[in-house]
Amino acid sequence: MSTLRRDFATREALVAYIAQEFPEATGPVSPIRGGRQAALAQLAAIQPETYGDTRNYLDGTVTRLSPYLRHGVLALTEVRDWLQQRRYSWKTAEPLVRQLAWRAYWQTLYDQWGDGIWEDREPYKTGWQPEDYANDLPGDIPDASTGLLCVDSFSRELQDTGYLHNHVRLWLAAYVVHWRRVKWQAGARWFLEHLLDGDPASNNLSWQWVASTFSHKPYYFNQDNLARYSRRRWCEACPHDGRATCPFRGSYEQLARRLFPHADLHRLGTRR
Amino acid sequence: MPTSIVWVHGDSLSPTNPALATYPSAPAVWVWDDELLRAWRISRKRIVFIYECLLELPVEIRRGDVVTEIRAFAQEKGAQKVVTTSSPSPRFQRFCRELAQTLEVEVLPVPALVPVTPGMDLQRFSRYWKVAEKVIYR
Ligand SMILES: Cc1cc2nc3c(=O)[nH]c(=O)nc-3n(C[C@H](O)[C@H](O)[C@H](O)COP(=O)(O)OP(=O)(O)OC[C@H]3O[C@@H](n4cnc5c(N)ncnc54)[C@H](O)[C@@H]3O)c2cc1C
């Protein structure tokens, strides 16, 4: 009989049962809880007033609703309605509603493209060809042994908690695709193993946006950007800080010349 | 004897999802898609999260081949109809087509945040947002 159990006194009992029933699914368990009750508690705690100004900072007031929205535990319209019912002005609500719309947008494209979201939607604008990118993720990235404090910490957080801040996803994806020159699909598959909100549409199309196969130019960053939005959390203790060995050090123009030597610099929009 | 069952899938894990809300007394089922779990190498933390969602839903939890398990559940309950909630996933849509060979299938839509109109420009988010921002908030 293929019916699974529902009677668990504790989370530990549930986790032990899952370990026994799904032995191939390994790794730690996230502190983030599933369920409608947890979703509603998370919704009640959102801070729309400060969201817009702080969302790019790692200590900003992002909602962390993504695992619930991804699995339909909470509908996108419920979050929008919650804001409307509390009479938040459009000016206050707009930044958050816009991010909700990103999810709706990716879902609409998924509906039209189906498994085509796994294919490059457009050519890379990096000056490199698809065959210049490696097929597989280098082992030091999931092993968190690149020696870069920031990247190794992002990798561990992904695998330990199943959640990453949007800015961290952008940095990590850019590192994989542009610094290590790995196909975005390899990074996307890795994220889907671990993200509690792992969703083929939002995930793959965001990776394509970083890679430039679904955008006008590649997304990349420099140390100033990472240090600013993380408030130097990793740079402070990193042996590469202030040295040429930090691969993110330099202006956008310098990095573009190094990462994309065959690309048209003007098209890369290096003036940020 | 009920004539319908509800199939709850991974895009609709709310007790208020349209299928459960419209058919509150129909027996409901969830099926762990063993093939998908393997192919995507889904980690333990993702399974725990989804399982915790399921424990708040009135569903029987099964595993295996999704279409086979839903058919078996429908037969046990004497149902001729499967009710579920829409999803853009091509895998979901394939399951619905397969189920429709032997059962009636009703797919209820999820309320749209942004109504998509024919001919809407989806080339870039900026163009989509120009249309969306006018209708998304009242
Ligand atoms: C490489 C990469 C991979 C990503 N993979 C996923 C994924 O698998 N699943 C996923 O839901 N999001 C993904 N995102 C988008 C975004 O990073 C997360 O939705 C967001 O960080 C979740 O945190 P939050 O709930 O605190 O977001 P908030 O900033 O509080 O936003 C509220 C909600 O809006 C939606 N949202 C916000 N930003 C985006 C965005 N850029 N694209 C789509 N929806 C968005 C999410 O549902 C989110 O919960 C990815 C982004 C990148 C750059």
Q: Do the domains at A11-114 and A118-268 have one common CATH topology?
A: no
Could you give the residue ranges of the DSSP H alpha helices within chain A? 11-21, 36-44, 48-54, 66-70, 76-85, 90-113, 149-161, 166-174, 184-194, 200-211, 223-230, 252-259
pLDDT at A1 over 70: no
- Is the pTM higher than 0.95? The answer reads yes
Query: With a 6 A CB cut-off, is A79 part of the ligand 1 pocket?
Result: no
How many CB atoms sit inside 10 A of residue A215's CB?
Answer: 17
Q: What is the average pLDDT across A117-135?
A: 98
Counted domains in chain B:
1
Which of the listed residues A69, A163, A166 should we mutate to test ligand 1's pocket, taking the one with most ligand atoms within 8 A of CB? A166
- CB contact residues (below 8 A), chain B span 66-125, against chain A: 69, 85, 88-90, 93, 110-114, 116, 122, 125
Give the pLDDT score at A264: 84
Rounded distance, CA B30 to CA B9, Å?
6
Domain presence at residue B132: no
pLDDT digits (tens, 9 = 90+) for A49-83: 999 999 999 999 999 999 999 999 999 999 999 99
Which of A3, A27, A67 comes nearest B60 by C-beta? A3
Q: Where are the domains of chain A?
A: 11-114, 118-268
Q: Which pairs from B36-40 meet CB under 8 Å and 24+ separation?
A: B36/B91, B37/A22, B37/A24, B37/A25, B38/A24, B40/A189, B40/A192, B40/A193
pLDDT tens profile B17-72: 999 999 999 999 999 999 999 999 999 999 999 999 999 999 999 999 999 999 99
Q: Does a structural domain hold residue B138? A: no
**Residue B60: what pLDDT?**
98
The CATH number of the domain covering residues in A118-268 = 1.10.579.10
What residues contact A272, with CB distance under 8 A and at least 6 apart?
A252
CATH number at residue B32: 3.40.50.620
Q: How far apart are CA A121 and CA A107, in angstroms?
A: 15
Residue with tokens 């990074």: A187
Write out the residue range of the structural domain in which residue B38 sits: 4-111
Q: How far apart are CA A264 and CA B64, in angstroms?
A: 51
Q: Is the pLDDT of residue A272 over 80?
A: no
- B134 occurs within a structural domain: no
Count CA within 13 A, CB hemisphere, residue A46.
26
Question: CA-CA distance, B133 to B138, in Å (whole number)?
Answer: 10
Average pLDDT value for residue range A140-154? 98
Q: What is the CATH number of domain A11-114?
A: 1.25.40.80
Whether residue B43 lies inside any domain: the answer is yes
CA dihedral in degrees (A114, A62, B133, A212; nearest 10)?
Answer: -50
Mutate one of B34, B44, B67 to test the A interface: name it (highest A CB count within 10 A).
B44
Give a yes or no: residue B30 inside a domain: yes
